[in-house]
Structure 1
Amino acid sequence: MSGHPRISVIIPHLNEPDDLRRCLLALGAQRAHGIAFEIIVVDNGSRQMPSFAATLVPGVRLTREAIPGPGPARNLGATLAEAPLLAFIDADCVAAPDWLAAIVACFEKNRGIDFAGGDIRIQPADPERLTSIEAYEAIYSYRTQLYVEQYGFAATGNMAVRAEVFRSIGPFGGIGTMEDTEWGQRATALGCQIAYLPDARVYTPSCRSFTELARRWDRHIAHEFGEIRGRRFWLARWLGKSALMAASPLGETIRILRTDRVDTWRERALALGCLTRIRLYRATRMLELARHANTTGLIDLWNRENR
């Protein structure tokens, strides 16, 4: 890498060497745009340090964060970053060829933007024949425009922020938090301007099994339960949310019929079937939490074993 970097790309990594290799190769190809950038890979306790990362493509620094969780790993990367822009991407994501160019252009043209979220799409194993989980995730996972425009945060699998803004807001939370949601909503509450960047796109594999998909939702359920528990009438509210969750597939049929995220009637039917199964699973988990009120196992299991 020649010259001071204009953007620092930060990648947390945990036991995904093949995914990380694909991520780095896609980033290395973006030097064709002439943008000076650095890549900081922060390993978060892998069984084997991904030492190949330091030599696979130019401009990579490899380090390790001992504190568990993607938030602490990203925080260390941000501390080491030298560029005025930070771009966060997950190790299992592959950036589109103009990902960095789209981010840099947006921030240079729009000085009022403090941070932004890009588009995240599912990369199916066979684009001609989606599985039920791929069809479901193509529609319902990573609804990044909704996150940005309605909820005021950006998914850290594809997020960019001015370095000075990140440092003024403070670090991501630890393993017990939904770090991107919490950080983004903290930033917007303090007056930071967020934008959606549809041209800055990355692709990520779908979950490989229903068990993996369910475990991903366990984390969300646990955090949501932690936020509502102890509030006034929390049990009645939680039970009501559980009932609505179980019934919600009926109301999602129109969305599935109208979506442009899948193409065929077969894929729409598969998506509806998977949606029904996962929503019923979530409702059951919510009722279990209401009975036992123990979220620790759900959070730790997702963060350390499902990676």
Structure 2
Amino acid sequence: MISVVIPHLNQPGALDACLANLKAQTLSHDSFEIIVVDNGSAIMPTDVISRFPGVRLLHEARPGPGPARNTGVAAGSGEVLAFIDADCRAHPDWLSSIWRSLHSSPSGTVLGGDVRIWHDASEHLDAIAAYESVFAYRFRLYIERDGYAGTGNMAMFRRDFDSVGPFAGIDVAEDMEWGRRARRAGLRFRYIPEMIVYHPARSSLHELYVKWDRQIAHSRNMAEGTPAWRLRWIAQALLVLASPAPSIVTVLTSDRLDGVGARIKAIAIMCAVRLHRVMTMLSLLRNRRAVAWNR
């Protein structure tokens, strides 16, 4: 049995699409359960859940997707845990890929998969979607370079999750923090390209800025108190300021974009986002910033 855990906050339409895709999985339906954990929505998504018999809806009052996932894990009965976000859509073979890959991997392996931008194949990518197709969810990079998997597409045996412990709260990047503890516990991360979920592109530059503001605040909170953290923080900001030049090559050679127009649009948004990141990082040198998810 696989327990699929989905944290939710004020995204009923996206949750409906997510559940529809999970119900269309090629893996036998008696091999998995779906647990949605609401984290304080203005209106509980009971109408959405009622359209999908067998899906369980729980509530977690502590803010943050980490605590919501912990509640789902505790309520589940599967020997395998699979995590996906409410605004994602799973490829039909997502759970089958998880099952095959876990049982062909060494003991103590945590799986992370590919996250692609969802868009209608008949439509041209707008500037935001073009940028996010290259830079938004670089899960292979997170796993192979940074040693952690994003919780929007991650799976493991329950016994391995228990050996590490629950996800942290909203003040830190719970996937990165959990990954650090997992590595200390002796677990290893493996990238599975066939383990695919899709995420819609953000609708505006402002939404991209909000996403980065949250991630930068997480990183700042995790860095505070470490030796010479302010000097290292300034150095990181300078690296971000210089990063557009090599990233242009990444855009021009990416296999996730077609045509010159899409690449030019992606480069323009990339430069705007990098400048915003630098300004935000420098503004947080003196004071912490409260973190809220799904704004």
TM > 0.5 fold call: yes
User: Unpaired runs of 5+ in structure 2?
Assistant: none
The aligned runs of 1:1-307 (5 Å cut-off) are 6-30=1-25, 33=28, 36-124=31-119, 128-290=123-285, 292-296=286-290, 299-300=291-292, 303=293, 306=295
Q: Distance in 1 between matches of 2:171 and 2:190?
A: 27
Q: Distance in 1 between matches of 2:246 and 2:115?
A: 24
Q: Distance in 1 between matches of 2:7 and 2:15?
A: 9
- The number of equivalent residue pairs is 295
Verify the 8 A CA contact 2:27 2:93 in the aligned structure 1.
Answer: no
SS at match of 2:62: coil
Structure 1 ranges of 4+ moved more than 6 A: none
Verify the 8 A CA contact 2:134 2:254 in the aligned structure 1.
Answer: yes
Residues 198-207 or 120-129, more deviating: 120-129
Verify the 8 A CA contact 2:7 2:65 in the aligned structure 1.
Answer: yes
Q: Distance in 1 between matches of 2:276 and 2:27?
A: 46
Verify the 8 A CA contact 2:115 2:139 in the aligned structure 1.
Answer: yes
Q: Distance in 2 between matches of 1:35 and 1:115?
A: 23
CA RMSD of aligned residues (A): 1.7
Percent sequence identity is 44
Verify the 8 A CA contact 1:107 1:113 in the aligned structure 2.
Answer: no
User: Unpaired runs of 5+ in structure 1?
Assistant: 1-5
After superposition, the Cα gap between the structure-2 partners of 1:187 and 1:150, relative to the gap in structure 1 and judged at 3 Å, is same
Q: What code does the residue aligned with 1:278 have?
A: V
Verify the 8 A CA contact 2:113 2:193 in the aligned structure 1.
Answer: yes
SS at match of 1:57: coil
Deviation at 1:146, TM superposition (A): 1.1
Q: Distance in 2 between matches of 1:215 and 1:159?
A: 24
Q: Distance in 2 between matches of 1:230 and 1:168?
A: 27
Q: What code does the residue aligned with 2:220 have?
A: F
Deviation at 1:33, TM superposition (A): 4.2
Q: Which residue of 2 aligns with 1:3?
A: none
After superposition, the Cα gap between the structure-2 partners of 1:284 and 1:35, relative to the gap in structure 1 and judged at 3 Å, is same
Q: Distance in 1 between matches of 2:229 and 2:163?
A: 34
